[in-house]
Every structure is written in structure tokens, then in C-alpha cells.
Structure 1
């Protein structure tokens, strides 16, 4: 198998990360664990306890995010770089067209970060030049005008119309699940460092960005008897029920040096799934799990969604406004990535119906009508060569939930029923409107796989063949592989899973995907890679039409 980094390089990366974690983070059994709630300023100066992030970056815009240790107003300074990675000087030697190309830094002032948003804040930067790399400086100013520490990062806007459109991105899912949190013994969540070492232009997180329903204890016995040690905080010690506990799950993950290093220089495009709230939830559910004192899932989901939005660098997020409470933004959205790539982010949780056996003669909800029509309309209007659909649930994998089904499939190979009817409408609509080169990327099931769907093998035949690629987990227990439902004719081209509930310790059961879009979109190459950087599978697609 190919490897992204040599074994010595991987060992050095893990060793360096482990040393950094050992000196900077509390570990199991320490006298006091670091609080997930931000500490007060050191002296009179604010700090950035959760680093910085950039997200939803297009050819003309970006969202800049950070979190302060106390109340302060977010500021950002963007310095455009030339092709040699040097700052543009503004002296005429590297002068170009467009704001940010003449050497003048772009300065932006954002909102106040207060306790109402857990001291998080974001800035939407608009009108940026395409195909440009920026060094970023983010800081807060307190009410006295004193600046916080400065967080440094970088990002690149998507290619412009005159570019060859080449770019690379990675995707995965499932962070800090099954009790596997930040373990200094193994260098923390080192799969994120492996992804960062790929130098991707952006990162897709396919959901389960946290595990709000999975307590993280000081120690956990692995299936082979080894003991996994976790950094712990008060907020992760039990299932999340309060807003503070949900927020604490997100700030916990950002204590990991690997995640913070990646997010500082790789823009993220994220969606959510079930574990941002609780396992396999649907709207209206009443929990029977005795771990919970709050049994109403809708109450938990509202708190989980608020915390998720506060901690994600996504566009159009609204925080608390005067007297009106928190207003959730729409999670499904389109991210334009230049002439050869559009990313369509789905939300398959908000509109999801009850987990029945899936055998209803009528359509039951997984997308909801508004999202379904939005997706078909966006795909029809897209002029990009490749249309990537980021789905938080797989299409043809059977995912049981007790006597019901968690995903779209119903474990019957016949004509579409239940949720499958919505998927059938989507696939049929894509075919009849003439949309080509649609690729589904997903996670959720804790193993990696490549599936080809074709009407020649299917019970439902009114669709064009397409590919679905699955990646994850990146720092959670491993499972699978699962059985496939034959309704839409999937063929398993590849699949690989770690041992049941296997830990992230050796990286061989943790996976992410890497996609390389060739110049002018002439090829779309997908690799499935383990957390050590070893390539497990490669498939190159060429565009149709």
C-alpha cells in the first residue's frame, strides 16, 4: 500500500504530538482537569482557549471563527500571499487586481463574544479574490481596547473561473466516540495530523463531530485488554443534557493539538448527525435511557444544535439577539468551490422521521420536501464539472436501530418503501434533469467503503449509475462492515473495518478519504486512507457529458 508519510515520519509526528500533549494537557488521574468552560483572562489579557477556524470557504468568501477566554470583540487581519508564499508588499512589485492583491491587509471587525455564545464569535469575509492564499491573524479586544493573544492561521479561496480548477480535499466523520477521547499516550487525535499532512484545500466533516451521548472516562479498557487513558473534563464525564455540557463537548475536542493545528490552516465544511444530540434520535422521540434526566429529545436537540452552531465556522449563523432567543440557521447549504466543484451539504437529521422498520407504502421523511427540492434545484443550476453531496447518513448500508432502521435502507431488496421513496425521487430527479457527475461522500458507520450503484442490479431502475464513498471513524471505536440493501443496486467495490469497538491506538481501523480534482476537472480521484497515512483503496472517475 502507498503511504502518505514514511513510518519514521509518522512515529515522529505521534511522538512530538504526545510530548506536546503531555506537557500542556491534564491526563487521567491528575489533580484537576482543564475546564471546558473558558477560564478568565490571564492577568488582564484575553486568550484564545479553542484556537481559530476558517469555514465554508468559496472563491469569494470565508467565515473566520474563534473563541475568547472572556468578553471581547473579534477582529481579523488577512494578508494575501504571492505564489512563493510571501506577503504582498503593496509597493507595486507584486500588484494585482482586486482587494487583497495590492499588498494592503484586509482588516475586519466582528461581533462581541459574550457568555451568551460561550465567548465564540465569527466574521463573514466577503468579496475576496479567488485562488488566493491568506495568512490570518485573529484576536479579541476587551472593553478597555486591550488586545488578546493573536491566533495565526491561513486559508486559500477556491479557484476562479480562469483557473485550471485543481484542488484536493479530505473528509471523514466520528470524532471522540465510544469513550475514546484525547489520549496523550498516542499523541492525541493523530488522525487529524495525518489529514493535515495531505495539505488539503479544505476538509469535509460528515457528522458526529462530537459524541454528546458518550461519557469520556479517565480510563477505558480496549477489546484487547490494553488501557486507554483520556484527558477528562467535567462536561464530558456524563451524557450532555445542559447547554453548558453540549458546549463542553465541542470545546473538549478543540483541546486536542492535532485538531487545532489542522483547523488553523484547513477550512472546514461540516454537517451534523445524531451524536451531536444523542444516538439515533428523531424529532419527537422520548428517551428511556436512564442516563438521562432530560428525556425529551426535542429539548436536547435544540441545545445540541445551538452548541454545534456556536462552535462551527458556518455562514449565516445567528447568535442570541435582544429578547428573541437563539435562531437556528439552515444546515443544508451549497459551497461553491470554483469552476469544477460544488459541494452540497445535507442535513438528514432535522427532518428525519421515527426509526420504524421502513416498510411504509408512503414516503417517510429523511430529507424533507424543502431540502429535496433545494438539492434538485441546486444540482440542476450547477455548472461545476463535479457535484459532491456530503451526506451524514449512507444510502444503501443497512443500519439497524433495535427493531427499526436508522438510515435510509430497510433491509428489503425490493421496490422502494418508507424513506427509500424520498431517495428514489432524488435519484430519478437527478437523471431526468440531466445532471451528471454526482458523487456521494458519507461516514457514520465507522468503517471505510466504496459502493457503485447501478439500475442494472437494482429493484428500482429509474436513475443513472453513481458512486458513494464512505470514510471514518477518525477518533472513535471501529465497527462493521454492514450488510447492503439491494433496492438501488449497490456493488461493494471495497470495504475495510477495524475490530469491533477497536480503539484508535494504532490507526489501522481509523479512516479518512482524500479527493484530488485534476486540472479542468478531467479526473476525480478518491483514496481511502487509514490514520497512519497508508492508502487502502484508490478509484479514479472521469466526467460524463
Structure 2
């Protein structure tokens, strides 16, 4: 097995085998990305291959008859032959096409779009929203369905873009990870990123729409915190500092994001006067999770999920936002959730596997529930400053939720004191409750969902079984999320159906069901 952990990945040796991508659009620029394989030996993670020059072009048309920017960049084994260019001097709210050239070879052509001008009146934004895409659990048909649309301004990926797990010994995955072992070293993380970039559906979506991303835990290791992770064992897997540094370096190299190791991932993008999107990093700066839900440490004001600097940045931004809608890219749920004591032992253990470490009734301590002081700070800021139109966009939990955010959950809904809304997307492929229970979808999960909604009246919608994607529509009058469910996550050609839609009317801080998906 040791040999497998260092063997080069099986990938095509064509120069641009890993596609193209763009991300973090600004009014005057956008970041574009690719990876070049200059010689067959320069496979991802090997540290082999020469330093080379890659040329890039950005044009107003797909035929590149109107090139507006071009240049060249050096890359090599020191950054796994990835290329990331922050293109500036572009026009706001404008579609552009981009490509890369190495020698006589040209990459696939990508399409991207800049953000609206600062202060511009914007009538509509439309985002794809996704999270939790486990290669071994299925095919990425959700990405294909998003790529086939022609109405998206960008895709928001809320974390678990890839998974650290090795190939399981007790079952056959839909398609095995490369490398076969759990990734712990820089070579492992590079190879796994490279494998995911070869998925044709993900490649098509990257080439079609700019991404705005954040990481959750599986980009490094399960239930990661600032000083370790549940899925990390020292000394067998090295030190956590070494592993985390390796995962963050590979992420910086392989993702279309304005992040380099040593900086911080949290950042804010503005879309005219209509919306601001604040992307959080809830893994790098957090205190260790509580030992269990009854651990009084979860209320300790010295413990944090966001870190003091990021928490101040978030709350200051919510108060001073110049745009109407305050959207927050949030990797784990912020809505308080009490788990009902009426669950059977089997349901309880399945739910524990799905959402993380819970015991008894009240909390999932890996979410904001395990860091109540930070959450109270955010909610108090929204309430005391009268901040309106705040929507948290969340992943992680492999299920669909639509929640109001009660300032005081003990008196809600009698007090009607919602300070915002949370919309949670399903997983792209990662296991849901029905797979964990090994029952047909929409059977055993229905009782669990009902029990949770009864115990938590601010939870307006819950679906523990679907895989797929969401589409978020933002206008001055409302934010609406449409959830789409895949018929079969193991089939790359599977259909997707509209599952449900919920709308947040401007100024209400409430979420209500609507029957029609947006066209």
C-alpha cells in the first residue's frame, strides 16, 4: 500500500488534461485557471517536469477575434504545473472567453463573466449552489445539469469539493479514489484534486461559469479544527500542521480562488447594489469541537468557530453593507437545531453518522450549535442594528433545509423574532440518511424529518434523502432557492427533477414555500 501512496496518478499526458476554470469575479477582473502537463512524466503530485511558459488570452468572443488581454506565466513542479492568472482591466457585467496555450497546443475554451459595476443597479442575479461531492459515492451529474443551463452568473461551492477518504475495504465504490489511500501528504492532495478535475461534468461547469468557493473539512480531514481533525492520527499520519499545510497548498494550486497559503480564505464579493456575498472559512480558525452536546464548553465565550478577526469582519460587513441582500457562504449550519428524543436507536445512529457528533437531544457540536457565543454575536448584531435581508447559504449536512433564524429559539415562533434565513443545499453525491439506513428514499426519513420540524418550528423544510443542486435567484423583491433532485446519483446520465422552492421576500426575514421554479 505504501507504493500506491506515491505512484503517479493515471491521467492523460495531453498538455491540458485537467480543463480550465475561472473564479472570484470582480467588476474589472476575474481569475482564470488551468493545469499544463508539459511532458508525460509531469503527472500531478510527482514533483517531476520542467519549468515552462504558458500563454493566455481573454477575448470578447469565442472565436478570439477581439482579444482584450493576453500574457504569459511561468509554472513548474513547485506549484504542480498549475496556472492561475488574475486578469484585470476588464469591463463590468461582461461575458468573456479565455484559453491557454503551450507550444502548439491550446486548452479548451472557457467562458466567464465579470461582476456588475460598484453601485450599479442590478435587477437579477442567478447562482448555482452546491456542496459535498464525493467521487466514490457517484457521478457528478448535478454539475452537468448546471452546465446545461444558460442563466447562471456564477456557481457557489460551499465546501467538500473533494474528499480525503481512501478506497473502502468493506465495499465497492461507484468509482475509486486516486490515490487509493487516505490523502495525508502534498502528493496525495495534488493527485486527488487532479482526479476530480478530470470529471467531465465538473470540467464542463468550470468551463461554463465562474466559481466562488470555500472549503469545509474534507478538503483536509473530517471535522477539522485549528489544531487537528477527527480523521487525523499522530504520529502515524504526520503532524496536523504538515497535513493542513499540504491540503491548503494543493487547494491554492488547484482551485480558481484568490487564496495563497499564508493568507486567509474568507473574502467578500459585491454585485452592484443588489447583493454582497461573504464567503466564510469555518475550519482554519475554530476551537476544537466540544466533547459532546452537554459539554458546557460549547457556551464558552473564549471558544470560536470563526476566529475573532473573521467574526469581526463578518459582523462589520453585515452592518455596513452597501448592497441590499447580505448573502453569506457558510459551510456548516448556523440555525439552532434540537434533535428530538423520540428517534429510534437506529434512526439516532444514522443521523449521527450523517450530521456529526450528537448525543441525546440538543446539538451537533461541529456546527454553530457547538459555538453558541459566536452565533449569538452574529444574531445580536443583526437584531440590534436592524440588518435586513440576510441569507446564509449552507452546505455540509447532505440534506435540504429552509430555516428562519430565531434570535431566541426558546420563544420562537411566538416572538416572531427572525433575524435572517438559512437555505441549505443537498449533497451532489455524498451519502444521505436513506443510504445510511439502507432503505428506499422518502420512507424512514419522513418520520425523522417530521420529528425535527416539530422540535424546531423555525425549520420550515427538510429533505434528508435527495442528491442534486440548487439554483438561487436574487432580485430586489425576493431571494428564491429552487432545489433539484437527481434520480440516480450512480448514473452519469441521470435526470434531475424540480423538488421544491422557497422564497424570502425582501424585508421579512422569513421563508415561505412557493410552487413554481424560476425560469
Task: Name the TM-score class by shorter chain.
Answer: 0.7 to 0.9
Query: Structure 1: which 5+ residue stretches go unaligned?
Result: 1-33, 90-103, 141-145, 182-187, 222-227, 319-326, 411-418, 499-508
Contact 2:127/2:472 (CA < 8 Å) preserved in 1? yes
CA distance in structure 2 between the aligned counterparts of 1:311 and 1:37, rounded to whole angstroms: 17
Alpha-carbon contact 2:404-2:418 (below 8 Å) kept: no
Shift in Å, 1:456: 6.3
Partner of 2:471: 514
> Would you say 1:284 and 2:264 are equivalent positions?
no
Q: In 1, Cα distance between the equivalents of 2:300 and 2:235?
A: 33
CA deviation profile, 1:285-321 (whole Å, cap 9, x unmatched): 3768679821532321111111111111112x34xxx
Distance 1:397 1:48, change over 3 A: farther
TM-score if structure 1 supplies the norm length?
0.73
Equivalent position to 1:73, from 33, 53, 75: 53
- Contact 1:471–1:513 (CA<8 Å) still a contact in 2? yes
Aligned residue-pair number: 438
Partner of 1:528: 483
Instruction: Report deviation, 1:112.
Output: 1.4
Q: Which moved more, 1:386-395 or 1:285-294?
A: 285-294
Residues 96-154 of structure 1 show CA distances to partners (whole Å, capped at 9, x for unaligned) of xxxxxxxx4122325312111111111111231112111222223xxxxx243232011
How does 1:20-59 map onto structure 2 within 5 Å? 36=9, 47-59=15-27
Q: In structure 2, what is the Cα distance between the partners aligned to 1:72 and 1:194?
A: 36
* Structure-2 separation of matches of 1:241 and 1:478: 26
Where do 1:72-471 residues align within 5 Å? 72-81=52-61, 104-140=66-102, 146-160=103-117, 161-176=119-134, 179-180=136-137, 188-199=139-150, 200-212=152-164, 214-216=165-167, 220-221=171-172, 229-230=174-175, 232-233=177-178, 235=179, 237-285=180-228, 293-315=236-258, 317-318=259-260, 327-356=261-290, 357=292, 358-360=295-297, 361-363=299-301, 364-395=303-334, 396-397=336-337, 399-401=355-357, 405-410=365-370, 419-455=371-407, 457-458=409-410, 464-471=418-425
CA distance in 1, matches of 2:37, 2:500: 43
By how many angstroms is 1:167 displaced?
A: 1.8
Alignment partners' CA distance in 1, 2:162 and 2:112:
24
Following the alignment from structure 2 to structure 1, what is the Cα–Cα distance between the partners of residues 37 and 408?
Answer: 58
Higher mean alpha-carbon deviation, 116-125 vs 401-410, is at 401-410
The structural deviation recorded for 1:381 is 2.6
Q: 1:382 and 1:513 mapped to 2: Cα distance?
A: 25
Unaligned 5+ residue runs, structure 2?
A: 1-6, 39-50, 339-354, 434-444, 487-494, 509-519
How large is the Cα RMSD of the aligned pairs? Answer: 3.0
TM-score by length of 2: 0.77
Q: 3-state SS of the aligned residue for 1:529?
A: strand
Q: Contact 1:458–1:486 at 8 Å: present in 2 too?
A: no
Note closer, same or farther for the CA distance 1:485–1:240 as it changes in structure 2 (3 Å cut). Answer: farther
